[in-house]
Structure 1
Amino acid sequence: MPIRATRVLAALLLLCLVAAVRPAWAVQPSIVVHKLIIDMTVRPDGTSTITEYREQSPSSMAAAAQIGQYAIGFNPSLQRLDILEAYTQKRDGTRVPVDLSQVRTQQAPGVPNVPIFRDMQQKIAVFPDLAAGDREVIGYREETDKPLFPGQFFWNINFNRAVAWEEVAITIVAPASYPLQVENFGVDFARTEQDGMVRYAWRYRATDVVAEDLAVVSAWDRLPRMYVSSFPDYAAMAAAYARLADPKVAVTPRIQARADEITAGIADRRGQARAIYEWVSARIRYVALYLGAGGVEPHEAESVLANGYGDCKDHTVLFEALLKAKGIEARTVLVNLDNAYTLSGPPTMAQLNHAISYLPEFDLFADTTSGVAAFGTLPFQEYGKPAVMVGVDGEAVRRLPVLAPGAATISTRTEAHMQLDGAIMGTTVTEATGPAAIALRLTARWVQTAGHEPAARRQLVALGQQGTGVFVFPPPDSFGQSFFVTGQFKLDPQPEILDGDSFAPPLGLQLLVRPGDYLLGPLNRPTLPETEATPCYSGRQSEDLSLEVPEGRVPQRLPKDRRIETPFFTYTARWTAEGQVVRVRRELVTTIDQPLCTGELRREAAAALADIRRDLRAKVVLAGP
């Protein structure tokens, strides 16, 4: 898969001893928040007034550039936002005001530029002459006139450990007749009641920051954090979502006609559901707007059908309306599409940012937004997650199933031969099934966009090789359980191999990940502590590499075979030499039955990944003629 930078944090410099011994993990903060004061007044109808005052300093010009444009997101269809004050306070105490008349409202980044998605906006205050050590001061008021869910209030915050927090004070005042549930992790909390009003107060301070080495799971799973909600439980939240969404799943004449057209000639009910799923996946463009960011109320199914695009909640509304037209029941499921594996105790939208569907008749979950997933197959990151089921009696929180053994496979085969000048030519076939096939199809789409030959050159460079190549594959925009991509390549001459330099059989145009990576956690993160939980999955990965060397050349010595075996996974590597051909086969088989590797399983996985990294570096040296 093309290498992408995802959620990468800047490395921070270790502090020396200053006046007293500081923790070994303490680092110099890039940002110091001197004050964060948030006061909220919540009314019995769920509307609220929130005022925030913040003073913060950058420790470098790079940090000043990072925070010098302060963006405040809001939804103008639900809220009013006013910046009350904003200025740069220089080290000598001089104030350089922000020209509030120049603050403009604009569409938030990542919000699609299409007519029905204009509700998530932001105001940006640009702080003049902000330098390292100066203070950026801003105060603003947010009036919520229309809660996301009628009559309900919820709020949450987490505290980045790479930031120094000197003083944080958060208060909520609400009527005693409007009780709020709270949950706190690493934050001081106090509750007082007087004259029919309840004051909820939190304080936080953490001046020694921590280098986290790019933790894998969400901030909502691990950082100091707090949650507040007026919902008594997730069943109440699910019912509130149903009240917003159910009217949108209307079977109009146009919806009925489209459902009949899609299923024409298909008598089998599962076949009808599959046909509708594939039609929505292929025909309705997915516009990624996270649930909750721009509201939780979907558009009418007929509107989504007419527009031809929609976000996740719009996808579910149209999919479920078309199913309903054929008498097939479906329920919306709210889940996390990123790397959060918990739900807050008080019901909030902190970890719920995506909507998919559950078809109880077939006991099957379906996500139409990937556009290429086989019916009943989900992307990797949705398996095993806690989710909120809409439209069910009793407990609404359910856990999506983990991947079944053997459901996800990746196999790569590279066969290459070396010419007398050291150039290497060959072919790579990458084949995948289940959720891995989704990733491979999306990669093939990337190749189509980038161009087959330019994409091949970029992938060779990403794999540490120089040369040219081309990808060949069938159309990726289909829904089979498996998919394959062929890559033909020619690497630049490497005569040093013939002169005795060590080498490994080339990866060629291998796609996706190598054995060990992803299923057991990130392979390329050797400093990630074994105490850090990582997502992990059941599946199988195999890699077959072979290189035919010129006549008269033979390997002096093959690397050692390797076998790692635990109750949940087995990794093997086997080297052979037959005539002029050197081969290595690597395979990982996992039967992990939980969504996260934690505790002893994580320790075993971390140790295995260290051994696998060493194995992947194994090389061969040729003997001369």
Structure 2
Amino acid sequence: MQFVWMPEHAMRSFLPVCIMTLACCFSARVVASSQPAPPLEPYVNEGETQTFTVNDDGSFTKLDSMTLMVNNEAGVARVAQQYIWFDRNMANVEILEAYTTGADGARHDVRPDQIRDVQEARSFDAPMFQDIQEKVIVFPAVEPGTRVHLTYRKTQKVPIVPGHFSDFTPPDLAPTHNFKLIYNLPAGKPLYADARGFTTIAPVTEGGRTRYEFRYEKAHFSRLEYGSVAYVTYGDRLMVSTFPDYSSFAATYRASAVDPSAADPSVVRLARTLTANDATPQAKAKTLYDWVRKNVRYVAVNVGRGAVVPHRASDVLAYRYGDCKDHVSLYGALLDAVGIPNEPALISSGTIYSLPSVPGYGVINHVINWLPDQQLYADSTAPNVEFGFLPSTDMNRPALLVNEGVLARTPPTAPMTRSTDLAITVQPDGSATFVYTLETAGWAAEQGRTMLRLQTPAQREESLQAELRNANLRGAATLSTSNLAATDGPLSITMRGTLESLVVPGAAASIPALTSFAGGFESDTRYWLGERQRTQPFVCRNIELHERAQITLPPNFRVLDVPEPAQTQDRFLDFRSQYTFDAQTNIIKVSRDGSTHFDSDVCSPEEFAQMRPAMEAVGRDVRAEVIVRSSLDGASVASRLP
């Protein structure tokens, strides 16, 4: 709705007309107010030009000039400070111009003391990585209606990969106008591009150099849906690279990863000592994997952030920490020492499930080990993942096998089985005691063990209370577990405790037909149905669940209604439930069994539309309740007992 300012004399002449047509004016206002204007995005990128001047050796200068319009307080929080990452041994950053202009046009320059070089947080206390820096620019007088202007030059003095250049540009999901990316390269060094959603301008060659230009405009980005994969998996993105294909990209990483210390005596001695009692190559690979993931701390400075050259395996062993490249280097050297073939595999970690048609760092941001004889991948940077499994952030994505120079794929899905047994004994006054057992096998088991190993007593108590709160219950509980020192196999947990006021006696009431506290069918359907409709691919991990419950009622409780059993089946989901009541013992039994059959860890919007009816049926069943009526007589007698 647009408001037009009118001078006072015009307003006076307008008023009688409006009074005579009051009903019409009022009606128009009602219609307008029933259609509120869409909320403003926090900020708008009103214009930005990034110009890269690339040298023959792969070093480059980047000149970036941008203007961001701040629309509201959320925008202030997002743009009032700007961060520029660099490695101080390989690059430097110069701030050429930085200022804020107010809504009144007043200019507020960034002072020198408002520009700081700070060590990147993740590299603290890690001498290998203390060259990782961020230049922080703090803009003054930023408020809704102001504009932030920044121009800086980044000089990459030492190329990340000698002789090559690559750059990845994902949209920042804010309205973007007049965005240009210009790459100026020697004419003999062609630039390859995957420009999805970007407009490609025809290259121009003159004076021995070729200019490539890409433009981008987008006024609106859809909300990222609950559980959806990274936007660049399916949306707009620009990858440019001087690598013609993935084979040549792998060759450069292979050359850079050569480690003369791989056969260092300390590495060989450790590998052979650890595996002395292992009879098979797979057992040896597991032993070494478990040692690395538990003893070498992961410092999260990923591939593409700094040099892509791993540190020496002997140094990683001595320091007992490293990034993903270093983990691969040390684990690979340990495997080599006991004769187990292995090679690095470059992947896109996180929720990016696809690679552009041209290779480069940015989308490729992680490296793991591939063990061809065992036909499995291993990521020792994940301390809570059992050998033979991968963290979800590594699943179902292209993997560039470095030694072979070919694209493979990590497993599309992994098994997980969860069985629970809940026994609730209701007391005459409506309180209850319970015993809850859970056994989980597959990728989730070691994650649970690791969490329990690391918990303090206070955190353990809070997790128990969270379990009860998740089921909308109040009470107290104790916990016992299977051996937490194990590194594989199922995890068993037993909770014992009391519940306060599970049901109020003396009237008709409902008891939730619980078969699990946290996790299980209830939490999975809550995730699956987190969106009524989906337009974006989303993460969907396979599960097999078996849940049992028994509710024993005292004599002063009478069951009025028990839910009907449910059964549903489609290509993606099998589910059935059963409810029985034994009037002689006053015991209610509930069972729920089901499994999913997703083809991979990523499902499409079309698949969601097909599976939604079955998931809604499960969602209705897990909300089922048993209706009971009780008298106060039993509760009163119980309260008088010594």
Asked if Structure 1 and Structure 2 have the same fold, meaning a TM-score greater than 0.5 normalized by the shorter chain, the answer is yes
| Structure 2 Cα separation of the partners of residues 24 and 176 of structure 1 | 54
Candidates 579, 601, 622, aligned match of 1:595: 601
Evaluate the alpha carbon distance shift between residue 90 and residue 372 of structure 1 in structure 2; reply closer, same or farther with a 3 A threshold. Answer: closer
Partners of 1:582 and 1:101 in 2: how far apart?
A: 70
Mapped pair 1:558 → 2:562: yes
CA distance in 2, matches of 1:300, 1:440: 33
Alpha-carbon deviations, 1:531-579, whole Å to 9, x = none? Answer: 3212223331233233222224233222222222113321222222233
- 1:45 aligned residue: 57
Question: Compared with structure 1, are the counterparts of its residues 279 and 213 closer, same or farther at alpha carbon in structure 2 (3 Å cutoff)?
Answer: closer
**Is 1:536 aligned with 2:545?**
no
The question of 1:374 aligning with 2:382 is answered no
- For 2:132 and 2:526, the matched residues in 1 are separated by 34
Partner of residue 551, structure 2: 547
Question: Displacement of 1:120 after TM fit?
Answer: 2.6
Instruction: Please report the RMSD computed on the Cα atoms of aligned residues, expressed in angstroms.
Output: 2.6
5+ residue gaps, structure 1: 1-16
Deviation (angstroms), 1:91: 0.6
1:4-62 Cα offsets, whole Å, 9 max, x none, are xxxxxxxxxxxxx9x99xx9996521111111111111122111111111111222223
Q: Does 1:468 align with 2:476?
A: yes
2:410 corresponds to which of 400, 408, 413: 400
Instruction: Out of 549-558 and 40-49, give the one that drifted further.
Output: 549-558
User: Does the 8 A contact of 2:427 with 2:554 survive in 1?
Assistant: yes
Q: Which residue of 2 aligns with 1:5?
A: none
* Match in the other structure for 1:231: 243
**SS of corresponding position for 2:330:** helix
Please say if residues 25 and 211 of structure 1, whose CA atoms lie closer than 8 Å, have aligned partners that are also in contact: no
Partner of 2:326, secondary structure, is: helix
The answer to whether the 8 Å contact 1:191/1:198 transfers is no
Checking the alignment, whether the CA contact within 8 Å between 1:78 and 1:144 is kept in structure 2 is yes
Q: What SS does structure 2 have at the residue aligned with 1:246?
A: coil
Structure-to-structure mapping, 1:489-500, within 5 angstroms = 489-496=497-504, 499-500=507-508
Over 3 Å counting, the alpha-carbon distance change for 1:144 and 1:516 in structure 2 is: farther
The residue type paired with residue 295 of structure 1 is: A
Distance in 2 of aligned mates of 1:506 and 1:51: 60
Which sits farther off after the overlay, 537-546 or 77-86?
537-546
Shift of 1:131: 0.7
The residue number in structure 2 matching 1:260 is: 272
Aligned to 1:134: 146
Cα distance in 2, alignment partners of residues 600 and 609 from structure 1: 14
Q: Which runs of 5+ in 2 are unaligned?
A: 1-28, 632-642
CA 1:101/1:435 → structure 2, altered by over 3 Å: closer, same or farther?
A: same
Describe the SS at the equivalent of 1:73.
strand
Is the 2:570–2:614 contact (alpha carbons within 8 Å) kept by the matching residues of 1?
no
- Aligned pair in 2 of structure 1 residues 552, 206: CA closer, same or farther (>3 Å)? same
TM-score by length of 2: 0.87
Structure 1 residue 303, shift from structure 2 partner: 0.6
The structure-2 alpha-carbon separation of the partners of 1:478 and 1:334, relative to structure 1 and needing over 3 Å to count, comes to farther
- What is aligned with 1:213? 225
Shift of 1:516: 7.3
- Structure 1 length-normalised TM: 0.89
Quick check: 2:578–2:590 contact (8 Å CA) kept in 1? yes
Instruction: Provide the C-alpha distance between the structure 1 equivalents of 2:588 and 2:253, rounded to a whole number of angstroms.
Output: 60
Q: How does 1:135-150 map to 2 (within 5 A)?
A: 135-150=147-162
Deviation of 1:83 (Å): 1.2
Deviation by residue 1:256-312 (Cα, 9 ceiling, x = unmatched): 111221122334333222222222222222233332224322111111111112222
1:590 CA displacement: 2.2
**Once the two structures are superposed, what CA deviation does each residue of 1:444-465 show, in whole Å capped at 9, x if it has no partner?**
2453474322321233234433
**How many residues of Structure 1 are paired with residues of Structure 2 in the alignment?**
597
2:491 pairs with 470, 483, 495, which one? 483
Hey, what does 1:313 align to over in structure 2?
Answer: 325
Residue of structure 2 in register with 1:457 after alignment? 465
Distance 1:84 1:287 in 2: 33
SS of equivalent residue, structure 1 residue 53:
strand
Displacement of 1:113 in angstroms is 2.9
Verify the 8 A CA contact 2:476 2:499 in the aligned structure 1: yes
Which residue in the other structure is 1:299 paired with? 311
Q: Alpha carbons of 1:271 and 1:70: their partners in 2 closer, same or farther (altered >3 Å)?
A: same
Q: What's the offset of the Cα at 1:477?
A: 4.3
Q: CA offset at residue 154 of structure 1?
A: 0.8
Q: Shift of residue 239 of structure 1?
A: 1.3
Partner deviation per Cα, 1:186-216 (whole Å, 9 max, x = no partner):
2211122222322211222222343333461
Point out the structure with max Rg over C-alpha: 2
Task: Give the aligned partner of residue 179 of structure 1.
Answer: 190
Tell whether 2:616 aligns with 1:610.
yes
The alpha carbon displacement at 1:339 in A equals 1.1
Deviates more, 1:384-393 or 1:573-582: 573-582
Match of 2:625, SS state, is coil
Instruction: Say which SS state the counterpart of residue 451 (structure 1) adopts.
Output: helix
Q: What do residues 158-206 of structure 1 show as CA deviations (whole Å, max 9, x unaligned)?
A: 2244x22132122111122111111112221112222232221122222
What secondary structure does 1:522 align onto? Answer: helix
Query: Relative to total residues, which structure has the larger helix share, 1 or 2?
Result: 2
Question: Partners in 2 of 1:562 and 1:413 — Cα distance?
Answer: 19
Counterpart among 597, 607, 621 of residue 627 in structure 2: 621
Which residue of the partner structure matches residue 523 of structure 1? Answer: 528
Gap change, CA 1:102 and 1:269, over 3 Å in 2: same
Matched residue type, 1:309: Y
Deviates more, 1:488-497 or 1:611-620: 488-497
Find the aligned partners of 1:249 and 1:344 in 2 and give their Cα distance: 34
Q: 477-486 vs 137-146, which deviates more?
A: 477-486
Partner Cα separation in structure 2 for residue 289 and residue 462 of structure 1: 35
Q: 8 Å contact 1:72–1:122 — kept in the other structure?
A: yes
Q: 2-side partners of 1:596 and 1:570: how far apart?
A: 19
Aligned to 1:125: 137
Residues 521 and 605 in structure 1, CA contact (< 8 A), matched pair in contact too: no
Aligned partners of 1:399, 1:210: CA distance in 2, in Å? 29
User: Which deviates more from structure 2 when the two are superposed, residues 124-133 or residues 260-269?
Assistant: 260-269
Structure 1 residue identity aligned to 2:563? P
Contact 1:40–1:51 (CA under 8 A) maintained in structure 2: yes
Give the match for residue 445 of structure 2. Answer: 437
SS at match of 2:127: coil
The one-letter code of the counterpart of 2:409 is R
Match of 1:69 among 64, 68, 81: 81
Report the alpha carbon displacement of residue 425 of structure 1 after superposing the two structures with TM. Answer: 2.1
Output one character per residue of 1:429-474: Cα deviation in whole Å (capped at 9) or x when no partner. 2221121213322332453474322321233234433222233224
Q: Secondary structure at the match of 2:528?
A: coil
- Find the aligned partners of 2:88 and 2:132 in 1 and give their Cα distance: 7
